[in-house]
Amino acid sequence: MTPPRSPENGEAVHPLVLDGILDLHHFQPREIPGLVRDYLQVCQTAGILQIRIVHGKGRGVLRDTVHALLEQEPAVKRFRTAADRSGWGATLVDLYPARSGPVAAGKPVKRLSHRPPPGKPTGTRPPLWYRLLQKWLLPKGK
């Protein structure tokens, strides 16, 4: 059976398993903000409310970037560094359920520029994290 094709460019679209773990090791730093935001939104919509973001230990630059993004994201209930063997190399994130969110908890909501205004269609493109994983995981020419 032939995989479905993207309506934009005709490339094959392969389904990926959404398991609540996002490993950032294979992405460029400029891709991280959009990737994390898209992944959080897709997980929240799918009902995955506990997420693990693997950023690595290193000097902590990527961890600080991820934590700064999470502080701004209204879907995030709380986050913390992992207390398991990965230690400082991963961040655990708890999300609000899709229907409740920060408004129900009395938290102010800050509109971020990467999201379209309410009522404006978002298009049919897959999320950035999905497109980047497709690009990275699939061999060239398929």
Distance CA 57, CA 64 (A): 11
Q: What value does the mean pLDDT take over residues 38-56?
A: 90
Share of the chain above pLDDT 90, in %: 23
Task: Provide the CATH topology of domain 21-97.
Answer: Ribosomal Protein S8; Chain: A, domain 1 (3.30.1370)
pLDDT at 112: 42
pLDDT at 2: 59
Q: Encode pLDDT of 68-100 as tens digits.
A: 999 999 999 999 988 777 666 899 999 999 865
pLDDT at 68: 93
Q: Encode pLDDT of 100-125 as tens digits.
A: 555 444 454 444 444 444 555 555 56
- Cα 28 to chain centroid, rounded: 14
Residues with Cβ within 8 Å of 69's Cβ and at least 6 positions away in sequence, in order, are 32, 33, 36, 37
